[in-house]
Amino acid sequence: MAEVCPFRGIRYNRETIEDLAQVTCPPYDVITPQQQEHYYEKSDYNVIRLEHPLPVVTAKQPVHRKYSEAALTFQRWLGEGVLQVEDYPAFYIHDHWFTFLGEKRRRRGVIARVKLEPWGNNIYPHEETFSKAKNDRLQLMRACQASFSPLFALYQDSKSKIGKILAEASQDKPVIKFAGSGENHVVWAVTEPEFTCQVSEFLAAQPLYMADGHHRYETALAYQRERAHIITSEARQSLTGKESFNYVMMTLVDFSDPGLVIFPVHRLVRGIAPSALARLEGQLERIFTLKSVPLTENLVSSLKYKMIGGALLGILGLVPQSLILLRQRRGVSFEDLMLKNHSLPYKNFSVSLLNHLILDRMLGVAQDSEDIAYTVDVEEAWQGIKEKKYQLAFLLSSPPPEIIKTVADAKDRMPRKSTYFHPKLPTGLIINPLA
C-alpha cells in the first residue's frame, strides 16, 4: 500500500510577498537559459534562485557554487520570514485553471508527501528516462535539504469518492490565490484529522502512476539511500521510517480529471545518411499506407494535438510542401515487427513504432542520439524543416491518459519523451523540507 501523508509545507509569507505570480516559476527542466534570466529579473525572491540557480563564479574561486548559494538563499529567506513553515501538517488542494482550445479548464490535485518505494511497489513509472539530468537534482537536494517542486502522479477514482471529499473541503477560504501567465491558482491547506484520514486511507489503496518527475523520483530514492548510509550505526537504531527523506512531495491527480491534458512530443531528426533517406519511402510502404496532404497554414495549425483522420503519425520533409500521413497497412502486425521483450500495449503505441521501426531500423538513428530534437510545438517543427535545420519532422497525436496506466500495468515503460503534461505544475507554491 502507498503511504500518502499530510506534511508541514513551507510557503511564501503573504505579508511579505503579495503577488505570488512574481515569485513562482515552472519546473527546472522546461526552463530555457533565457527564461532563467527572466525569472531572476522578475523578483529578488523568485523561487528560480532555489529551483534552478545560475552558476556563481568568482575571480578568486572560478568554480560553480550554485548549489551552496541556493542553500544559503533558502536559509536566509526562512530566517527573514520570506518563507514560513506551516503550523500543522496539511494536505494541499491545488486548483490549476488554464485555457485549452478556447475553453477554460481546471485540473485539481492534492499535494502530499508519498513514501518512497522502489519502482513497481505501488508507484509505477510510465516512461524511460535520461540519466544525465539526475546528478544536478541530487546535488541541489544535498545542499538545500528540500525539494521545491512537486512530482506529478495519477490515481484512479472511478467512483469519485475522493473527488467529493475534495469538493467539500474546497468550500473553505484558500490560503493561496493568484493569477499569472494566463493561468490561475487556488490552494487550500486542509489540516482537519477526519479529512486527512479519509484522503490517506483512500490513496493508500490506489496505485500511483508517475506522470511528470521520473528523474526527480529516482533522485529522491538516491538521496534516501545516501542519507540512510551516512547516519551512524547508533543513530540508525532510532530511525522510525518516518524521517522526511523517506518521502517525496507529489501532486496527485485523478485519471478522469477534465483538466488532464497531454500534448504529443514531436521529433525532429537530422544526420540521416542520404542513402537511408532515399530508401525510406519504400520501406515505409511495406508497413504503412502513405497519404500525401498539401501543407497549408491552417493544416499545420490543426495538427497541434492530433493527426488528421486518426493517422498514427505524420512526416514533414519527406515530400516537399507536403505532410505524409501513416496508417497501419492491412495485414501487417506491429507485434510481429517490434522487440519481443515489450508488452503488447507498448508495441502498438505510436512513439514505440516511430522509435523502433523508423528511427532505429530504417534510418539508423539511435533513440538517445543528439541528432534528435523534441518539441510540443508543430509550428517549431515545421520551421525546423523550412530552415533546413532538420531533415525530417515526425508528428504524433496526443496519447490518451489510459495508455499510461495500460503500459505501466503491463510492467512496461513507454519510450522517453512520450508525453508532455500541460500546463506544468508551478514551482514555489509549496516547498517540502527534507531536514
- The stretches of 17-65 forming alpha helices (DSSP H) are 33-42, 48-51
Average pLDDT of span 2-16: 96
DSSP classification of residue 28: G
State how far the Cα of 254 lies from the Cα of 162, in Å rounded to an integer.
9
Lowest-confidence region among 87-96, 225-234, 319-328, 376-385: 225-234
Rounded to two decimals, what is the model's pTM?
0.93
What number of CA atoms fall less than 13 Å from residue 194's CA on the CB side?
Answer: 4
pLDDT reading at 162 higher than 80? yes
Q: What is the pLDDT of residues 229-243, one digit of tens each?
A: 877 555 666 677 889
Q: What is the pLDDT of residues 342-379, one digit of tens each?
A: 999 999 999 999 999 999 999 999 888 999 999 999 99
- If DSSP codes are grouped into helix, strand and coil, which group holds residue 197? helix
Among the four given CATH numbers 1.10.1760, 3.30.70, 3.30.1760, 3.40.50, the one describing domain 265-397: 3.30.1760
pLDDT reading at 385 higher than 70? yes
DSSP classification of residue 383: H
Q: Residue 58's pLDDT is what? A: 64
State how far the Cα of 208 lies from the Cα of 210, in Å rounded to an integer.
7
Average pLDDT of span 141-152: 96
Total number of residues shown for the chain: 435
Which of these, 219, 250, 186, 247, lies nearest to 433 by C-alpha position?
A: 247
Q: Residue 64's pLDDT is what? A: 61
Lowest-confidence region among 232-236, 275-279, 286-290, 419-423: 232-236
- If DSSP codes are grouped into helix, strand and coil, which group holds residue 120? coil
Q: Residue 61's pLDDT is what? A: 58
- Residue 218 corresponds to which cell in the numbers above? 529516482
Would you report the helix, strand and coil content of the chain in percent, each value rounded to 5? 35, 25, 40
Confidence of residue 194 (pLDDT cuts 50, 70, 90): very high
For the chain, the domains span 4-261+423-433, 265-397
State how far the Cα of 348 lies from the Cα of 335, in Å rounded to an integer.
7
DSSP classification of residue 245: G
Q: What is the CA radius of gyration of the chain?
A: 23
